Amino acid sequence: MDAVSKKISIRFAEARDASVIAEFNLTMARETEQKELLPEVVLKGVNKVLGDASIGFYVIAERGDEVVGSLMVTTEWSDWRNGVFWWIQSVYVRPCERRNGAYTRLYRFIREAAKNDPAVCGFRLYVDKRNALAKQAYQSLGMIETDYQVFEEMKPGFCFLDSAAG
């Protein structure tokens, strides 16, 4: 059986997955936002999540022994709903696996996991406004675009980009 015909399996990430998740995050930032992140910062951030479930968790898509995709879930308390939103972040699927159901399987896995947690009231994610394919994928799974926009401000001196990369 060749690699393409092997079924995609989904599981919660483990410490052994840190380097591939960090690689995915670096690649995703480059592909979607043309940003070069600092690899050592990203790897520390991934390891922090993997070592502290209160921050969040990662889910992995594998075909055979190869990790082909991942996403991270973090939480947000909603006082309006007296519940927790699971924020889907750091979504990455290898280019050769896109449009083959990897993200669908990842999303369905976390939806199923949320069924066992009565505190979870829903799911949210943010997507670059120019990423039409990602928007289509999210809408096809039942997510809707909201009226909210994301704002951010970084603390002075905080560094996560590789300034040498230009």
Please answer whether residues 78 and 15 qualify as being in contact, where contact means their C-beta atoms are separated by less than 8 angstroms: no
Task: Read off the CATH number of the domain in which 48 is found.
Answer: 3.40.630.30
11: phi then psi, degrees, rounded to nearest 5: -155, 165
Q: Work out how many domains the chain is built from and give that number.
A: 1
Looking at the chain, the whole-number percentage of residues with pLDDT higher than 70 is 96
Calpha distance 78→95 (Å, rounded)? 35
Please answer whether residues 2 and 64 qualify as being in contact, where contact means their C-beta atoms are separated by less than 8 angstroms: no
Q: What is the pTM of this model?
A: 0.90
**Paired sense of beta strands 120-125 and 8-12, if any:** unpaired
**Residue 79: domain span:** 3-165
* DSSP β-bridge partners for residue 66: 63
85-141 tens-digit pLDDT: 999 999 999 999 998 999 999 999 999 999 999 999 999 999 988 888 889 999 999
